[in-house]
Structure 1
Amino acid sequence: MTGSAVPPSFRLAYVPGVTPAKWVRIWNERLPGIPLNLIAVSAAEASDMLRGRGADAGFVRLPIDRTDLSAIPLYTETTVVVVPKDHLVAAVDEVATEDLADDVVLHPLDDTLDWERLPGRPAIERPATTADAIELVAAGAGLLVVPQSLARLHHRKDLTYRPVTDAPQSRVALSWPEEATTDLVEDFIGIVRGRTVNSSRGRTPAAAQPKSQRSEAGGARRKPAAGKPTGKSARGGSGGPKGGKRGKPRRRS
């Protein structure tokens, strides 16, 4: 691949709740000459952005239409219910959906959970976004069930959250256009999968080679110094000086 064909930057989209900082840091260490640009996108718009080549890859929430997109599932989030701190739920460690049956449970239009049956009582109107729903929870208008990362993202001092044991869970994946699996996409896949520098498509920085050389040089320094035992028997004739011999201590009679 010629240098002129390498794009000037790598565009990485990410949905709310995903924190790509760790992977961005590793990218900057390994590929300092290629800037990584972050693009915040809603969960509903992430797939269309990738298909339209608005980003080279992106962190999305599954399920997505994978007709022309590749995806590597990365992790599954705990689902929690967000409640006011004085709510009864705040007094327990976890709840089941049936425990929310008497409460109004908000269902925002950008909800990412794949519900078969919504918990609790429905609100009169669905909030437009998760952020709007959080404001309604703080106002005492209902509760909200979301992936834990979204509860943390919209943290408020007057709210808390607890795990919901039987709620659907949200899976986060790395996705990219199937027909645009470039070298840079492969590099980022390697970073996300935890590949080392030496195993990531052979793109070993120049700084890695001296380390190997230093390792070999270090092996030479581990040779025993003059005058010290070399592992041969002390009775083998011309070894070190006699003062260097060590035997078992004699028992006193």
Structure 2
Amino acid sequence: MTDSADSPSFRLAYVPGVTPAKWVRIWAERLPDTPLTLLQVTPAEATDVLREGAADAALVRLPVDRTVFSAIPLYTETTVVVVPKDHVITAAEEITLEDLADEVVLHPLDDVLGWEKPPGEAAFERPATTEDAIELVAANIGVLVVPQSVARLHHRRDLTYRTVVDAPRSDIALSWPEDATTDLVEDFIGIVRGRTVNSTRGRAQQAPAAAERKGERERGKPQSGGAARKSPARGAQKSGGTKSGGTKSGGAKGGGRRGTGGGKPRRRS
């Protein structure tokens, strides 16, 4: 009986707002015998699960500690402000931070934009979570500035959002412990980077092996056919090129001497 603990698997953590469905589908097509387990975590928990080995890789929001983790930036999100549908801000398609100067801008404790103080007026206290802040927006207590994917995640019929063109933005990246770049991590890197299944930039351990096999084939070619192909050329230079038609003993110099000796008329005395 096979121990399921010995079966290979890949554990991928991801933060709210990130949708890994496309990459998970490609993984299932390419590695059907290796299950991929998803683990949703808060932005604060993302690097902790990697350190503890609870996940092999994670889709995180930058920054991460680059002395410990490797990271491949994937995309940058648009920042939006979430407001009630009847809010005056909805009259414009895009706004600036200056347009929020007179608004109460909520700043949840799990904020992912990284600013010390958002624009506008501060609320009486900071909401514990983004979800709590959304509830306050719905109660007309303030507005909330978040990445667009987070606004979509917490969608409500009575709320909408508008792009804030000059607000800080959030970068999404694939990250994993630098000292734990496994074959399965390499496989997932290839998927998120859009490599095809036949890409030559596959697993790190497969590339040297393929190169070595190619080198063996290349080394074998000159031994079997290279010398035989060169021999006729050398023979042609010795037998045909020099003796019969070459410039050293051929007709150009010989013909010239015959013309000089036999074609010039004798002078009569």
Q: Which 4+ residue blocks in structure 1 deviate beyond 6 angstroms?
A: none
Match of 2:68 in 1: 68
The count of corresponding residues between Structure 1 and Structure 2 is: 201
Aligned: 1:159 with 2:159: yes
Aligned: 1:172 with 2:139: no
Match of 1:56 in 2: 56
Match of 2:23 in 1: 23
Instruction: Tell me how far 1:71 sits from its aligned partner.
Output: 0.3
For each residue in 1:25-65, what CA deviation from the matched residue of structure 2 results, as whole angstroms up to 9, or x when unmatched? 00000000000000000001101111111100000001122
**TM-score with structure 2 setting the length:** 0.72
Question: How far apart, in 1, do the equivalents of 2:68 and 2:27 lie?
Answer: 26
Question: How far apart, in 1, do the equivalents of 2:12 and 2:74 lie?
Answer: 16
Question: How far apart, in 2, do the equivalents of 1:170 and 1:6 lie?
Answer: 38
Instruction: Tell me how far 1:201 sits from its aligned partner.
Output: 1.7
Percent sequence identity is 74
Equivalent position SS for 2:121: coil
Task: Specify whether residues 5 and 157 from structure 1 end up closer, same or farther in structure 2 by C-alpha distance, changes over 3 A only.
Answer: closer
Instruction: Could you tell me which runs of 5 or more consecutive residues in structure 2 were left unpaired when the two chains were aligned.
Output: 207-269
Report the residue type matching 1:8 in the other structure: P
Alignment of 1:38-49 (within 5 A): 38-49=38-49
Question: How far apart, in 2, do the equivalents of 1:114 and 1:74 lie?
Answer: 19
Question: How far apart, in 2, do the equivalents of 1:123 and 1:5 lie?
Answer: 50
* C-alpha RMSD of the superposition: 1.9
Once the two structures are overlaid, the 10-residue window that deviates more, 107-116 or 85-94, is 107-116
Alignment of 1:54-203 (within 5 A): 54-115=54-115, 117-199=117-199, 201=202
Match of 2:237 in 1: none
Match of 1:243 in 2: none
Instruction: Tell me how far 1:130 sits from its aligned partner.
Output: 0.5
Instruction: Tell me how far 1:8 sits from its aligned partner.
Output: 2.3
Instruction: Tell me how far 1:114 sits from its aligned partner.
Output: 2.0
Instruction: Tell me how far 1:91 sits from its aligned partner.
Output: 1.1
Question: How far apart, in 1, do the equivalents of 2:94 and 2:85 lie?
Answer: 14
Equivalent position SS for 1:197: coil
Question: How far apart, in 2, do the equivalents of 1:51 and 1:120 lie?
Answer: 37
Indicate conservation of the 8 Å contact 1:51/1:69, yes or no.
no
Match of 2:265 in 1: none
Task: Specify whether residues 168 and 110 from structure 1 end up closer, same or farther in structure 2 by C-alpha distance, changes over 3 A only.
Answer: same
Report the residue type matching 2:202 in the other structure: R
Equivalent position SS for 1:67: coil
Task: Specify whether residues 18 and 106 from structure 1 end up closer, same or farther in structure 2 by C-alpha distance, changes over 3 A only.
Answer: same
Instruction: Tell me how far 1:103 sits from its aligned partner.
Output: 0.7
For each residue in 1:174-197, what CA deviation from the matched residue of structure 2 results, as whole angstroms up to 9, or x when unmatched? 000111100000000000000000
Instruction: Could you tell me which runs of 5 or more consecutive residues in structure 1 were left unpaired when the two chains were aligned.
Output: 205-253
Question: How far apart, in 1, do the equivalents of 2:64 and 2:99 lie?
Answer: 30
Question: How far apart, in 2, do the equivalents of 1:67 and 1:52 lie?
Answer: 16
**TM-score with structure 1 setting the length:** 0.76
Instruction: Tell me how far 1:117 sits from its aligned partner.
Output: 4.2
For each residue in 1:152-183, what CA deviation from the matched residue of structure 2 results, as whole angstroms up to 9, or x when unmatched? 00000000000001100000000001111000
Report the residue type matching 2:130 in the other structure: T
Equivalent position SS for 2:131: helix
Question: How far apart, in 1, do the equivalents of 2:166 and 2:202 lie?
Answer: 41
Indicate conservation of the 8 Å contact 1:81/1:145, yes or no.
yes
Question: How far apart, in 1, do the equivalents of 2:102 and 2:202 lie?
Answer: 55
